[in-house]
Amino acid sequence: MNSRDRFSAATERICRFHKELTVNAVTFTDCGTRPDGSQFCPELFRVKQGYDFFEFGISAPHDVYLTETENSLATGNPLYGAMYPPAREMIRQTCETPELSKYPLRNGDPECKDIILDYLREIGFCGSLHEENVGFAFSTTHAFAALMKLIVQPGDVVLFTAPTYGIFAFVPEREGGVTKFLQLREEDGWQINPDALRERIREINEELRHSPYRTPDHTPCVVAFFQSNPCNPTGRVMGKNDIGRMQAILDVCREAGVLCIDDLIYRDLGYDRENTAVPMASLDGDHSNVVSLLGISKAYGAAGLRAGIIVANEIIIAGVRNYIAWDTDSTSYLNMKVLSAVYRTGAEHEKAYQAYFSEIMAGYRDRLNIVRCITDGLGSLPEAEQARTRALIAEGRAEAETAELLHGTRGVRILPGCVPEAGFFALLDFRVLAGKSCDGITVTDDLTLVRYLYHRYRLKLLPGCAMGMQDPQHIVARVSFSMEIPELIGRMKLLKEEAERLYDCE
């Protein structure tokens, strides 16, 4: 339906209350509003500006593009590839039984839960775990949204690290809460500083004593702290060498009455297989104060299935399950079976796991090295990996072009102290380009930077403010390298060309 004139009166009534639906070519999910229709808080409004600009403001009517297709370095998809073989086999087996002809239990399949519980114990989850500590959802996003419905009362704050996965940051405010950020710092290695976390919680709670949402029965407070490990988008891992830091974070949250949400969606994509992310729920302390999120979207070739797990105390699981029940009645039995094929123990599974991830992680490492080489130069890589990276970049290229790509890029570098240790994102630092002007565009912040990069070759990066970064001095953008190598090199070459063109402008 192309014409608004053809909308029925019933649809017109919907449009009066949801004006965002009348915008043509809406391709990104609307960020929404607070329940009372008021604006998002200032910190989150900056994130919304980033997403809105990324989706709707990055182009201009006078742009004359030199390419017909968009050259995006902003995808959230993992590498295309075959599904994890045990998961694929489980789908085949399940579809050959009559089990899909009946509705699954709202509590989740007990057999699947038992298998997953054994896995959780094997990776160190503490406490006497039982079936009521595990819940299923259609992705970690689904589980997180249900969790916010459960724990957020009007005016309550959910604290996120920044940079962070910005989409999650909208959920608390859509439930009437408030989103705040703990800014990560270069001097802390872009990791969480427990003392800074303690002070940030204290500062926010002090402000909330004067909250307009305060009632005789409820004083808003910080109710949860969200962190991902490995972190999206920094790629930083808190592993066995960070146990002290993690214990301190957990202690800060427990002492302040703040729920610790531990997103482990990227855990299987760590480059150092001997130093994988350590779950918060494996540490000494009050394990009932940790909520863990796991899922198969990023690492197992199964993003299209949408399947996730939430692990928490039985009160939280019961509450989340109730909200999910009203949304979908129950979660998919097929997805539960696939999750139990992924998160299980045993020698046969370990063999399949090692074979699958040795290939995947070698592919991601090649791509990360290409990004590092084209931005920071070949010499920035470990010596043992330079020859292979040189060969990958040189394939099908003239010697002079190869040499230029190996030299690095003027005006761009990997964000200092933030070389990814996991995942398929990298944060790039463009602050050297601040104040530079070219083609009528002056770079003053990350939004004008991504505008400049788009205006000729439609090169698309996610701006730092969309990830919660508030410091205007940080002209940062996120690139994804989860694409075929020729495509990645081609887009990084365009990035180099455009950045150096701006760098050389007077």
pLDDT in tens, 37-48: 888 999 999 999
Instruction: Let me know whether 72 and 160 are in one domain.
Output: no
Beta-carbon contacts of residue 83 (< 8 Å; ≥ 6 apart): 300, 301, 302
Residues 374 and 478 placed together within one structural domain of the fold? yes
Among the candidates 345, 380, 411, a domain finishes at 345
pLDDT digits (tens, 9 = 90+) for 136-178: 999 999 999 999 999 999 999 999 999 999 999 999 999 999 9
Whole-number Å distance between alpha carbons of 154 and 178: 8
Arithmetic mean of pLDDT, 185-210 = 97
Residue ending a domain, among 302, 318, 345, is 345
Q: How confident is the model at residue 5 (pLDDT cuts 50, 70, 90)?
A: low
* Residue 29 lies inside a defined structural domain of this protein: no
Q: What is the CATH number of the domain that holds 69?
A: 3.90.1150.10
pLDDT for 50: 93
Order the strands of the 425-429 sheet from edge to edge. Answer: 413-414, 425-429, 476-480, 462-463
Whether residue 151 is found in the same domain as residue 270? yes
The two three-digit tokens of residue 53, written as one number: 């600009």
Measured distance CA(187)–CA(210) in Å, rounded: 33
Q: Number of structural domains, the chain?
A: 2
Closest by CA position to 262, among listed 114, 147, 131, 427: 147
Taking the CA atoms of residue 59, residue 64, residue 69 and residue 72 in that order, the dihedral angle to the nearest 10 degrees is -40
Domain contains 113: yes
pLDDT for the residue numbered 29: 65
pLDDT tops 70 at residue 23: no
| pLDDT in the model for residue 7 | 76
276 and 366 assigned to the same domain: no
Residue 138 domain boundaries:
103-345
Judge whether 327 lies within some domain. Answer: yes
Lowest mean pLDDT among 9-23, 220-234, 253-267, 328-342: 9-23
Task: Say whether both 365 and 334 belong to one domain.
Answer: no
The β-bridge relationship of strands 441-442 and 437-438 is antiparallel
Contact 235, 190 (CB under 8 A): no
What CATH number does the domain containing 204 carry? Answer: 3.40.640.10
Q: 292 to each of 42, 295, 420, how far by Cα in Å? A: 28, 10, 22
Residue 467 near residue 454, CB atoms below 8 Å: no
- Comparing CA positions, the residue from 418, 423, 463 lying closest to residue 444 is 463
Helices (H), 288-411: 314-328, 333-342, 347-376, 383-394, 399-406
Q: Measured between alpha carbons, how far is 353 from 119 in angstroms, rounded to an integer? A: 13
| Residue in the block written with tokens 């199964």 | 302
Is 160 domain-assigned? yes
The DSSP H or E segment spanning 450 is helix 446-454
Domain-embedded: residue 203: yes
Does a structural domain hold residue 226? yes
pTM of the model: 0.94
Phi, psi of 427 (to 5 degrees): -95, 125
Note whether residue 208 is domain-resident.
Answer: yes
As a whole number, mean pLDDT of residues 52-61 equals 88
Q: Are residues 441 and 302 in the same domain?
A: no
- Whether the CB-CB separation of 277 and 237 falls below 8 Å is answered with yes
- Pair (470, 422) in one structural domain: yes
Q: Look at residues 205, 203, 202, 275 and name the one whose alpha carbon lies nearest to residue 236.
A: 275
124/263 same-domain check: yes
Helix (H, G, I), strand (E, B) or coil at 316: helix
Kindly tell me if the per-residue pLDDT of 332 is higher than 50: yes
Indicate whether 54 and 173 sit together in one domain. no
Q: Which residues, including other chains, have CB under 8 Å from residue 70's CB and lie 6 or more apart?
A: 458, 460
- Among 282, 316, 345, give the residue marking a domain's end: 345
Identify whether residues 306 and 433 lie together within a single domain: no
Q: Are residues 325 and 187 in the same domain?
A: yes
Which pLDDT belongs to residue 25? 46
Please report whether residue 27 resides in a domain: no
Residue 24: predicted pLDDT:
52
Residues 400 and 463 grouped into a single domain:
yes
> Lowest mean pLDDT: which of 17-26, 76-85, 166-175, 440-449?
17-26
